Structures are given as C-alpha cells and as structure tokens.
Chains A and B, each alone.
Chain A
Amino acid sequence: MSIFDLPSEVQSSFLGLIGIQLEVSLGACAAGLALALPLGQLCLRLPRFYPPVLGVVTVIYSLPSLALFVLLIDVTGVTETTVFIPLALYSLAILVPGVVDALRSVPRDVIDAANGMGYGRLRRYLTVELPIALPTLVAAIRVALVSTISLMSVGGLIGNYGGLGDLITLGHTFFYTRLVWLGLLSLLVLAVLCDLVLRGAQRLLTPWARQYRSAA
C-alpha cells in the first residue's frame, strides 16, 4: 500500500493538478513582481511614498486568504481568478519591500560609475542595478513563491480551485487519509523544489555573489 495507490481518476488528474497549482502560483507571483517592480522604483524615486505603500500592502497581507477568496466570489464568481487575485496581492507584501531593499543595496559609486560611462537610465537599470540587486530580489521571490504555493491550497475550500489542495479537501470529504497525505506531501515537495530551482537560478545568474557571500 503506497501513497500512490489511488483511485484512477485522481491518478490521471494528478499531473493536471500540479499543472494548475504551478500555473496559478507562478502566475500570481509573476503578476505580483510585475506590480512590485514599478512600485518599488516609485518608492525609491520618491521616498515619501514608501511608508504609505508599505502600510497598504501590509494591511492587504493581513487579510485572511479564506476571507478574501469568499468575498471575491461575489465579484468574480467561483473561478480561478478568485484565487489568483488575492495570491498576487499577498505576494506584494513580500515583493515590494524586497524590491526596495534589493535596489537600495546597489552601491552608490556603482551607479555613479555607470552614469559616468554614459549609461542611460533604462540601460543602467537593466544591465547594472538589476543584476546587482538580484540576490536580494530572488530571496524575496523565493519567500513569496513558497508561501503562495502553500496558501493556494486554501482555495480548495471554495470549490475546485486549490490545485493540489483539492486533494486535501477531497480526502477530508471522503475521510481518505492517503489522499490528504498525497496533497500535503506533493505541495511540500513542490514548494521546496521551486525554492531550490530559484536558488540555483540565482547562483547561475550571479556567479560573483558567491565569493562575497562566503567571505562574509
């Protein structure tokens, strides 16, 4: 008797559930990042905006996921969007401070040097600031992604939109422990794998950061 000894319909849809799980969690984090990058840039350019922006994302983050999901049912119905929107908003609370801290960690003289070499603003941002900020930024993305993956399972409570979390609610409904274990363990493995992949990608992309890290 193994954990994979499951009803055939669950077996055949297992990969599908992983697909939905990845699609929504990665999508929500990507959307969050797409929002957090300009927001962070704005907060750096106009530091006055940083405390209120931080306050707003913290307040949003403190709203329980189940509460936001069910309140959104009224607006978007029971769809994937209902799960997607809160997850993307939650990731902001980690990503906005992450972006700001990361870009702040770029040394002033590096920026001056880039300016002196005649880099335009966009080129400086893409080729100098972002690469230097990457380790801190990836650390924030890792936290956001891991919590998004495990948080998405709550979506199982409002219908079939929890990805692998659906296995947990199904297992609870039918009192079928093996299904719950499968959901729990695959979510755990998926989250840790995503974390490792991001960590690996960051090491490959920023080979210079390794020496500093080990020296510190």
Chain B
Amino acid sequence: MNLFSDLQTFFEHFGYHGPWTRVVEHCEYSLVALGIAAAIAFPLAVLTGHTGRGAGPIEALAVIGRAVPSLGLLVILAIKLGPLNPAVAMVPLVLLGLPPILLYTHAGIRAVDRATVDAARGMGMTPLQVVWRVELPAALPLILAGLRAGAIQIVATATLAAYVSFGGLGRYIVDGLSQYDYPQVVGGAVLVALLSLVTLGVFWLLDRLFVSPGVRSR
C-alpha cells in the first residue's frame, strides 16, 4: 500500500490549479443532473403517490434505469452528438438519478398513514394542502433518502464523464490510467471517494435539519 506517498506525489504534481478546478467541475455536473432528475421525477412521484395509481410503470421505469449501463450510454451519445455537448454527460446522469427519486418519493407518500390524510381532509384541507402540509412533511425522510441515493449514484458516475473528454475528477483517473501514472489515478480516486462521503454527510445534515422530530421518532 503506497496510498499516502501516491497522494503526496499527486498534490505536488498538480499544484494549486489542479484538483480544486476538477472538484468544482464535478460538483457542477452532479448538481445540474440531480436538479434535472428531481425536477422530472419529484412531481411525477408525488402525483402517483397521492393518487395511488401508476406504481407498475414507475417500477418498470426503475428497473430500466438501473439496468442501462451508463458507460455505454455515455460512449454512444459522445459518438452521436460529438464531444463536449453537455447533453452527453447529462442524459446518463439524469437517467441514473430518476429511479431512486421516483421509487422513494412514491413509497414515502404511499406510506403516510391513511388516517392522517383522512383527518386532514376532514379538517377541510384542499388536495393541494393535503399534499403540501401533510403528505410531504410526513414523507420527507424517504424523499431525502431517495435524493441521497440519486445524488450518490450521480456523483459516482460523473467520474465516467471524463472517459468521453469531459472534466471532473474522473479526468485524473482516466488520464492516469492511460499515462501509467498511478499516483494521479490514486489522487483522483481518493478525491471522488471523499466527495461522495461529503454528499452523504450533506444529506445526513439535511435530514437532521428539516425532518420534523415527530416524524423521525417513529
């Protein structure tokens, strides 16, 4: 194990302008992809969860989303659309983020106690109020878990974007592998791993901050 000497070499080689730029690029890809995925999946899952219809199609979509190899999709898109077209990196990443957000949000809203929803209706809440003030807060832990699962998949897979000439932390791994420069590979790998852990931590924090204590204690 030469992990630490490899890391030392890595930071000496790439100085001040290297890793930080890549980290920012990596975060940029991941955040945009997560945002798009959430914008598509979240309203859809809230709708199906609230009405209780469409569980089958969501399940099927999730299996497809999991089964599509992102690497293959990236390479196909890169060849078809040309390098550095933003859609090349975004399509696979968004596709990867959809299944967990859909599944968790749908399951979370379905799992809200029917008695609670009935009580809210009985109090005269409109359907929109029921969703906004009862179902969403109660389903928040699972919704966040879905976003977290999506975010982690996206951060991990944004590494592959470097294979088709994008930036991000995968750049070091891909370049290092083809240059037989193992310290560079290790540096990239450790940085991506750290970034994933940070993502995990951010969602843990969000969960602590925003989930109502009454919901969490159950």
Contact = CB atoms under 8 A, between A and B. Distances in A.
A62 interface: yes
B67 A192 contact: yes
Contact of B193 (A64, A75, A177): A64
Interface string B60-82: 00011011111111011011100
B155 A74 contact: no
Interface in A160-206: 165, 168-169, 171-172, 175, 177, 180-181, 183-184, 187-188, 191-192, 195
Contacts of A187: 67, 69, 72
A41 interface: no
Interface stretch (B117-125, B127-135, B196-204): B196-204
Contact of B75 (A59, A147, A172): A172
Label chain A's interface by main secondary structure: helix
A157 B177 contact: yes
A55 B160 CA distance: 26
A177 B80 CA distance: 9
Tell which of B72, B164, B190 has the most Cβ of chain A within 10 Å.
Answer: B72
A165 B189 contact: no
A180 B173 CA distance: 21
A67 B65 CA distance: 22
A49 B182 CA distance: 38
Given A154-B71, A187-B67, A62 B79 contact: no
Contact of B160 (A75, A146, A154, A192): A154
A70 interface: yes
Contacts of A67: 156, 159, 173, 188-190, 192-193
Nearest to A196: B63
A136 interface: no
B7 to A, nearest CB: 11
Contacts of B45: none
B75 A66 contact: no
B72 A64 contact: no
A115 interface: no
A15 interface: no
Interface string B130-166: 0000000000000000000000100111011001100
B117 to A, nearest CB: 18
Interface in B51-109: 63-64, 66-73, 75-76, 78-80
A157 B164 CA distance: 12
Interface string A67-111: 110110111000000000000000000000000000000000000
Looking at A59, A71, A153, the one whose CB has the most chain B CB atoms below 10 A away is: A71
B170 interface: yes
The 5 closest A-B pairs by CB, nearest first: A184-B72, A64-B156, A191-B67, A67-B189, A153-B69
Interface of B: 1-3, 6, 63-64, 66-73, 75-76, 78-80, 152, 155-157, 159-160, 163-164, 170, 173-174, 176-177, 182, 185-186, 188-190, 192-193, 196-197, 199-200
Interface of A: 58-59, 61-68, 70-71, 73-75, 143, 146-147, 149-151, 153-154, 156-158, 165, 168-169, 171-172, 175, 177, 180-181, 183-184, 187-188, 191-192, 195
